[in-house]
Structure 1
């Protein structure tokens, strides 16, 4: 995969079902100030993207989000980050498929023939399940064909997915724009900063996530040291600009009569997402048809990428002996077929009667933020303890941006609310049990140098502390609202900085980090090897 393939993989993950629904959820929470929510999320995630760009160029390995903490803090930290990342990635493909099928439910030709794909409780009907399963099977087949197939099939889809939102902004702004909306319904910020922060986990962060996909695929990049960083930064910049413009267009286009007193119902519930209704209101029926098509193409394109991402993370965990070794099985096309099939199986399970798209967004956002949080602390530890490593892309102002990135991730976790945080903590505990079982069944338990329990000892205090802050805080169901407004933010920032610098001091010794990196060095070296010169069973990385 070259630069364009890597860039489109990241951009394709950023622009999915979130663009169709994110603007509406953000506007309900923050009103016109939802624009600030998108700008704030873009800044926070842009810093995390720059950090991933540095790591991805310096350590171009499959499943990077699991490998970076492994190098810095050992196998336990690597597994924890990888496990959370896997839970996040493996559920996105079925969520995207379910979103697409939900959009199709209201299609005129389905209604005319009394065909139901979704039940009243937003779960899939038997026919919807069959269509979803076939969709996941299609994603799986494309991924099994190899990274080049995935890249080539994804480029055209992403061009479409990017062009449609831009077209929507231009058309709706030109035909249906009310400047007075930006001060209606209680003013620019009817719910204050609380509404601005609360909007982030309601689809804003979910929509902007995905930039790290180029880092996950770095092991299969043609020139990772040159292309990975550029791909991540370019995709993040394009995605952020598109989403901010979409929110501006949405705020300006809603009917002023719907927001006279508040932003609780800025738009009637539309089966195809808010922009479909706005296109019809603007008299652009042709755009409504395009949006109907995109309501399928965008989620399906994202689901295609995340099947591959899930496989790369479970492959990395299999390499650590934290999951069964068959997950590292590689086909002649150089793809981890065992891990890809596992992602397909888990995806099928996730299609069963679980909560709707919106109900799962908070959990996925929380898991994503935890995964992202490992990157800045890992980079800081590696810069200190693995100083001799070449960094083709250097993070600017590292002493400022690395702690800022960790703070940003912690704030996103806090804003996701207590209910989401304790559920993710429970999932991490389950993963820890799996890790311990796999570890004690491994024949390499006594000889591994990367089992540094002290280096990873900061993780549980950090996660438990976030749950406690969520309980005492002011966001999400179950919180006690004990901490006053802004005092809660100060507590989260102070706690994040304490954990950040404490964790860096616990990083593994330089020689142990070097040994852990050298174990994966074959992947870096194999990048430039032709298939016929690659050792038997070695992946096409």
Structure 2
């Protein structure tokens, strides 16, 4: 539970409320509630899958069981892109927050004016990444203990902030200031989702990615996912309420463009200082290091388990599935470090990268509702410690929600991830060509045929839509089109799943390998 909660409470809590309020005003509360509902449905889907199939890198394995290795790679590749990008993004958030401390910026500037890292910032960021690597190499037990200590702090500080701000600065009139409750209409509510809201609430699946290292995953994984999601959702909604109520009403007279003052980066620290509680501001600056760093630490572990899973499936070079004497995928961890370092090159700001990662996360999540339905039909006898209620209603509804998040993440994010998917397919094809003929597993091309039309049409809808597109599709009609297309894809994909015999063979092969060589089973 702490692994999932530690992923949910990261830089998103420090920056998400301000970003959402600037786009949606007080109606940003609706954004949080809407995101919470969609992600809660997806979390319930993952809770059943994680408990029924407790394997490392589960988000790559579930689609592979249901649709074959090509589908597993498509989901796993997107999950890996998401996970490997998160650690450097969290580090950049830490440095961005810290750079706004006066004496730090004067003596040790960490960022250039365009938001990219200075030489000093690059060194500090690399030190953070090295610390993450060392903790991960030592082993999952040390990782879990380190994360647990961080999560206690990461949960306490937001709760303390909520209580202090609500007691000292509660301006109820702010909910109708600056143009009313919803100054930017429904468009603002939806635009806020990929700009930090969904990013903040994501992370519940981390317990599933590390399920192969749990003592009793059948019992614990579903409880961990659901509990972490509930706690994270409650904290974030209360934080947005506290943020809006703590704002100076005078700053909202002309709208929500700069609710805490132009150039302010640390919203809660600024509000705490204005309320006369400087001690809380300094605690928040400390948390700006601890919260994102704790999340980055977990995502290094996640990205390495995903590449490990893809190596085990022989869709990436088998070397990434090698483990150390400590039982950790050492090569995969080193790859995560190298890619993380590359992310520190002059890329866009935190908020722009968040939209890209949010879409990658939504694509990763979208495979699960289809996989759960297909596996219920093809593998009905498997013990399921947790069962998603009303499967035939909630599974398609959660798939629709994931597709709406993809659409709202903007066309720019969609086409960039389309290019990334093509790069992944090239890597997949080259690796398959280098495998001995006897080791090439059957691709089940027919079962994965739905993937590329699904995402290709989503890119076209994005190009014609209102979120980074050319606004050809009218408001609300775009949402209806996405929902209808998602339902068509859902039912077609379920009908194309592999046979029960193939599902059982894939699951049994996985279980047999874990029994003979439990490389990542470090519970003892």
- Aligned-pair CA distance for 1:404: 0.7
Give the structure 2 partner of residue 472 of structure 1. 464
Decide whether the 8 Å contact of 2:95 with 2:110 is kept in 1: yes
Which of 357, 372, 376 pairs up with 2:369?
Answer: 376
Q: How does 1:248-397 map to 2 (within 5 A)?
A: 248-269=241-262, 272-397=265-390
Q: How does 1:85-104 map to 2 (within 5 A)?
A: 85-104=79-98
Which of 41, 62, 75 pairs up with 1:81?
Answer: 75
Give the structure 2 partner of residue 149 of structure 1. 142
Give the 3 Å change call, closer, same or farther, for CA 535–432 of structure 1 in structure 2: closer
Cα separation, 2, equivalents of 1:380 and 1:79: 19
- Aligned-pair CA distance for 1:106: 2.5
Cα separation, 1, equivalents of 2:193 and 2:115: 23
Give the structure 2 partner of residue 487 of structure 1. 477
- SS state at 1:520 partner: helix
Decide whether the 8 Å contact of 1:65 with 1:81 is kept in 2: yes
Which of 463, 476, 499 pairs up with 2:455?
Answer: 463
Aligned length: 523
- Aligned-pair CA distance for 1:348: 1.0
Decide whether the 8 Å contact of 2:213 with 2:520 is kept in 1: no
Cα separation, 2, equivalents of 1:457 and 1:535: 33
Decide whether the 8 Å contact of 1:254 with 1:267 is kept in 2: yes
Decide whether the 8 Å contact of 1:330 with 1:539 is kept in 2: no
Relative to structure 2, which stretch is displaced further, 117-126 or 457-466? 117-126
Q: Structure 1 segments of 4 or more deviating over 3 A?
A: 269-272, 444-447, 522-525, 534-541
Cα separation, 1, equivalents of 2:124 and 2:23: 34
Give the structure 1 partner of residue 154 of structure 2. 161
Give the structure 1 partner of residue 178 of structure 2. 185
Relative to structure 2, which stretch is displaced further, 226-235 or 433-442? 433-442
Q: How does 1:505-520 map to 2 (within 5 A)?
A: 505-520=495-510
Cα separation, 2, equivalents of 1:536 and 1:491: 46
Cα separation, 2, equivalents of 1:204 and 1:50: 19
Cα separation, 1, equivalents of 2:189 and 2:304: 35
- SS state at 2:3 partner: helix
- SS state at 2:21 partner: helix
Which of 483, 486, 494 pairs up with 1:496?
Answer: 486
Give the 3 Å change call, closer, same or farther, for CA 505–238 of structure 1 in structure 2: same
Which of 4, 15, 21 pairs up with 2:9?
Answer: 15
Cα separation, 2, equivalents of 1:539 and 1:288: 42
Give the 3 Å change call, closer, same or farther, for CA 499–157 of structure 1 in structure 2: same
- Aligned-pair CA distance for 1:111: 4.1
1:91-131 CA distance string (max 9 Å, x none)? 1101111111121213243245x321111111111111111
1:417-476 CA distance string (max 9 Å, x none)? 111111111100110111011111111467524x10000000000000100111111112
For structure 2, the residue ranges without an aligned partner over 5 or more in a row are none
Give the 3 Å change call, closer, same or farther, for CA 134–281 of structure 1 in structure 2: same
Give the structure 2 partner of residue 423 of structure 1. 416
Give the structure 1 partner of residue 62 of structure 2. 68
Decide whether the 8 Å contact of 1:19 with 1:207 is kept in 2: yes
- SS state at 1:454 partner: helix
Give the structure 1 partner of residue 113 of structure 2. 120
- Aligned-pair CA distance for 1:265: 1.5
For structure 1, the residue ranges without an aligned partner over 5 or more in a row are 1-6, 526-533
Give the 3 Å change call, closer, same or farther, for CA 446–93 of structure 1 in structure 2: closer
- SS state at 2:445 partner: coil
What's the RMSD between the two structures over aligned residues? 1.4
Give the structure 2 partner of residue 4 of structure 1. none
Cα separation, 1, equivalents of 2:352 and 2:139: 33
Decide whether the 8 Å contact of 1:439 with 1:445 is kept in 2: no
Cα separation, 2, equivalents of 1:246 and 1:104: 21
Q: How does 1:398-413 map to 2 (within 5 A)?
A: 398-413=391-406
Decide whether the 8 Å contact of 1:270 with 1:276 is kept in 2: no
| Correspondence 1:26 to 2:16 | no
TM-score (norm 2): 0.98
Decide whether the 8 Å contact of 2:328 with 2:520 is kept in 1: no
- SS state at 1:264 partner: coil
- SS state at 1:313 partner: helix
Cα separation, 1, equivalents of 2:520 and 2:435: 21
Cα separation, 1, equivalents of 2:410 and 2:105: 38
- Aligned-pair CA distance for 1:261: 3.5
Decide whether the 8 Å contact of 2:205 with 2:225 is kept in 1: yes
- SS state at 1:195 partner: helix
